[in-house]
Amino acid sequence: GDQVPFYGLQQSGIITPPQDFLCFAAFAIRSKKLADVRALFQKWTAAAAEMTQGRMIGEWNEQHNSPPSDTGEAEGLSPSKVTITFGVGPSFFDDRFGLSGKRPAELRDLPAFNGDQLSEDWCGGDIGIQVCANDMQVAFHAIRNLARIARGIAVLIWTQEGFQRTAGADPTAQTPRNLLGFKDGTGNPDVTDKKAMAKTVWVQQIEGPAWMENGSYMVTRRIRMRLEVWDRTQLSEQEATFGRYRSSGAPLGASKEFDPLGLDRVREDGEPVIPVNSHVRLAHGDGSVQILRRSYSYSSGIDRRTGQMDSGLFFVSYQRSIAKQFIPMQQRLSQSDKLNEYIVHVGSAVFACFPGVREGGYIGETLF
Ligand code: HEM
């Protein structure tokens, strides 16, 4: 019912159908001892397994001489399909823990892309944890308690909350819409297709490193939207920007959301139906390389300097290779995507998400 299993060959929260809310957290490790890091991941594993079953963390003692081991705000709440997905960033592999030899060759900070305006406030991290749940309080509780357990060893350096429509608002579970009003996720590969997931998402034995087999690489990009500018743009212009209709989500010139893009189609005047600088054409490329997008909308108040809303897309994607999948795609988009008039990338991080863990084991055991 309301639980997503925590244990398994692969971590949950990757090909799990997106829940309603996101709480993302990046940590910096303050301890210099690998033993501390290992102990932390062991404690996190136990806590994550309990929380995904909707149980209180640790001993539930009624004696009041020390703080309770669970902060309590999720008591009595259903697990709400909470998933907790752990990864480590490039900085985890500097010389501190003697693990630099195990860094996957491609786990590096992303190259600078055209138009980036990155702020330290949403970049990097030794550890990244993605918590998703159908209830925000449940998701927040998870991050809060993971941070509490880390005290003295790792500290939070940035967080991001996200949302999409809830199942209550959309019982038929249509493709959710981003804050520009367009359906977002239509072109994703099918997560129930094992072959497609092996090709697109899960690191395979042949490519290594061995500790990453059945893991996946996560990219996060905090992308602010210039909503005020977008809202003054004509619908036909908005649709040309994406190459799809806003209402139905169908490719321009087609009638249904899941109709093929049909990039070869031309209008009477000889111009392509899906414009050359449209987002879907550039993202699609020749169609041979895909990623799995698992993004959430965010709204974080207003930017006091400009008076504009700080809202947009907390873009999250999973891929088997950042170098072969995300980077070439984002290079094409950053060069010529018409969408760039309306967005700016302000945060960036990459994490190697571990394979899943069996009961009795702990997250990260294949690495340390
Ligand atoms: C498709 C929105 C950023 C990769 C789409 C679609 C929308 C959309 C509305 C069409 C529906 C769909 O297939 O989901 C946005 C917005 C972005 C953004 C609002 C920024 C705020 C990115 C980034 C990437 C990306 C940074 C990767 C580098 C893709 C891919 C597709 C897609 C791969 C599917 C293309 C296909 O049909 O093959 N996006 N996107 N998008 N986007 Fe984005």
Tell me: pLDDT of 355 over 80.
Answer: yes
Establish whether residue 313 lines the binding site of ligand 1, counting it when its CB lies within 6 angstroms of any ligand atom: yes
- Please, are residues 266 and 272 in contact by the beta-carbon 8 Å criterion? yes
Could you tell me the pTM of the whole model? 0.97
110, 239, 315, 318: residue to mutate for ligand 1 pocket, most atoms within 8 A of CB: 315
Establish whether residue 283 lines the binding site of ligand 1, counting it when its CB lies within 6 angstroms of any ligand atom: yes
Residues of the chain with pLDDT > 70, as a percent, come to 98
Looking at residue 64, its pLDDT comes to 63
Nearest ligand 1 atom, CA 223? 21
Summarize pLDDT for 115-150 with one digit per residue, the tens: 999 999 999 999 999 999 999 999 999 999 999 999
Looking at residue 183, its pLDDT comes to 98
Looking at residue 65, its pLDDT comes to 66
Looking at residue 56, its pLDDT comes to 85
Establish whether residue 340 lines the binding site of ligand 1, counting it when its CB lies within 6 angstroms of any ligand atom: no
**Planar angle of CA 194, 161, 238, nearest 5 degrees:** 75
Establish whether residue 343 lines the binding site of ligand 1, counting it when its CB lies within 6 angstroms of any ligand atom: yes
Q: pLDDT class for 60, splitting at 50, 70, 90?
A: low
- Residues 207-229: what's their mean pLDDT? 96
Tell me: pLDDT of 34 over 90.
Answer: yes
Establish whether residue 21 lines the binding site of ligand 1, counting it when its CB lies within 6 angstroms of any ligand atom: no
Summarize pLDDT for 159-209 with one digit per residue, the tens: 999 999 999 999 999 999 999 999 999 999 999 999 999 999 999 999 989
**Three-class DSSP category at 27:** strand
Summarize pLDDT for 260-305 with one digit per residue, the tens: 999 999 999 999 999 999 999 999 999 999 999 999 999 999 989 9
- Closest by CA to 43, choosing from 159, 160, 152, 150, is 150
Measuring from atom 3 of ligand 1, which residue has the nearest CA? 315
Computed over every residue of the chain, the mean pLDDT equals 95
In DSSP notation, 124-166 reads --SEEEEEEESSHHHHHHHHHHHHHHTTTTEEEEEEEEEE---
Cβ-in-10-Å burial (0-12, 13-18, 19+) of 336 comes to middle
- Centroid of ligand 1 to alpha carbon of 297 (angstroms): 13
Tell me: pLDDT of 62 over 70.
Answer: no
- Residues 62-84: what's their mean pLDDT? 84
Q: Please report where in the chains the tokens 């049909």 appear, as a residue.
A: 262
Q: pLDDT class for 67, splitting at 50, 70, 90?
A: confident
Establish whether residue 187 lines the binding site of ligand 1, counting it when its CB lies within 6 angstroms of any ligand atom: yes
- Residues 5-13: what's their mean pLDDT? 97
Looking at residue 69, its pLDDT comes to 84
Instruction: Please give the span between the terminal C-alpha atoms of the chain, in angstroms, as a whole number.
Output: 34
- Please, are residues 349 and 119 in contact by the beta-carbon 8 Å criterion? no
- Centroid of ligand 1 to alpha carbon of 35 (angstroms): 41
Measuring from atom 41 of ligand 1, which residue has the nearest CA? 283
Looking at residue 72, its pLDDT comes to 87
Measuring from atom 26 of ligand 1, which residue has the nearest CA? 330
Nearest ligand 1 atom, CA 178? 19
Tell me: pLDDT of 1 over 80.
Answer: no
Summarize pLDDT for 294-316 with one digit per residue, the tens: 999 999 999 899 888 999 999 99
Looking at residue 57, its pLDDT comes to 86
Tell me: pLDDT of 247 over 80.
Answer: yes
